[in-house]
Chains A and B, each alone.
Chain A
Amino acid sequence: MPTSSSVLEQLRQQIDTLEHRQTAVVPVAKAVNQWLPHRGVPAGCIHEVKGAHLSNAIAFAGILSARLAGDNGQVLYLAPDRRLHPLGLLPYGLKLNQILHVSAKRQQDLAWVALEALRCAQVSAVVAVLDGIDLKDSRRLQLAAEDSGATGFFLGHAASAPIASPVTRWRIAPHVSGDRQRRFDQPSWKVDLLYCRGGRPGSWTLEWRGGQEQTLAEVLPQPQPMQTAVSNNKTAAYALAG
Chain B
Amino acid sequence: MRCFLSLFCPEIDEDRLAKLVAWCDRYSPLVSRDGSNGAILDITGCAHLFGGEDDLLFDLQRRLERMGLEAHAAIADSWGAAWALARYGGHQFIVHGASQTIAALDGLPVEALRLPENTVWELRRLGIVNIAALRRMAANSLTTRFGPVVVQRLQQALLQAEEPLTPWRPPAVYRASRMLAEPVSTVGSVEYVLQDLLREVCGKLELNHLGSRHMDLACFRVDGTVDRCEARTSKPNRSVPHMMRLFAGNLEKLWANFGFETFVLSVCDAEPLYPLQASLASNELEQGESFDLLVDRVGMKLGFGEVNRIVVRESYLPEYATAFCPAASASIPASAEWPEYRVRPVRLIDPPMPIQVSVSIPGGEPVQFLIGRQNHRVVRCEGPERLFAEWWRDPENTDRSRDYYRVEDEQGMRFWMYLDATRTSWYLHGHFA
Contact = CB atoms under 8 A, between A and B. Distances in A.
A151 interface: no
Nearest to B312: A96
B302 A109 contact: yes
Contacts, number: 143
Contact of A101 (B294, B308, B312, B432): B308
B96 interface: no
Given A87-B322, A122-B290, A174-B411, A104 B302 contact: yes
B229 to A, nearest CB: 19
A135 interface: no
A117 to B, nearest CB: 6
A88 interface: yes
A116 B412 contact: no
A211 B343 CA distance: 12
Given A87-B338, A122-B290, A100 B343 contact: no
Contacts of A54: 347, 431
A145 to B, nearest CB: 14
A97 interface: yes
A99 B332 CA distance: 13
Interface residues of A, number: 50
Contacts of A103: 302, 306, 308
Interface stretch (A19-27, A33-41, A182-190): A182-190
B399 interface: no
A55 B302 contact: no
A45 B294 CA distance: 19
Contact of A187 (B340, B430, B433): B433
Contacts of A184: 343, 382, 406, 408, 414, 432
B248 to A, nearest CB: 13
B10 to A, nearest CB: 48
Nearest to B430: A85
A116 to B, nearest CB: 6
B1 interface: no
Interface residues of B, number: 49
Interface in B263-307: 287-288, 290-291, 293-295, 297-298, 301-302, 306-307
Contacts of B293: 120
Contacts of B253: none
Contacts of A160: none
Interface in A84-133: 84-92, 96-97, 99-104, 109, 112-113, 116-117, 120-123
B344 interface: yes
Interface in B308-350: 308-312, 318, 321-322, 324, 327, 335, 338, 340, 342-350
B343 A86 contact: no
A136 interface: no
Interface of B: 287-288, 290-291, 293-295, 297-298, 301-302, 306-312, 318, 321-322, 324, 327, 335, 338, 340, 342-350, 379-380, 382, 406, 408, 410-414, 430-433
Nearest 5 A/B pairs, CB to CB: A59-B433, A174-B412, A88-B346, A55-B431, A122-B291
Interface of A: 52-56, 58-60, 62, 74, 82-92, 96-97, 99-104, 109, 112-113, 116-117, 120-123, 173-177, 180, 183-185, 187-188, 211
Given A55-B433, A82-B350, A91-B343, 18 more contacts: A53-B413, A55-B346, A55-B347, A59-B346, A83-B349, A85-B346, A87-B312, A90-B340, A96-B335, A100-B308, A100-B327, A102-B302, A102-B307, A109-B301, A120-B294, A180-B380, A185-B344, A211-B340
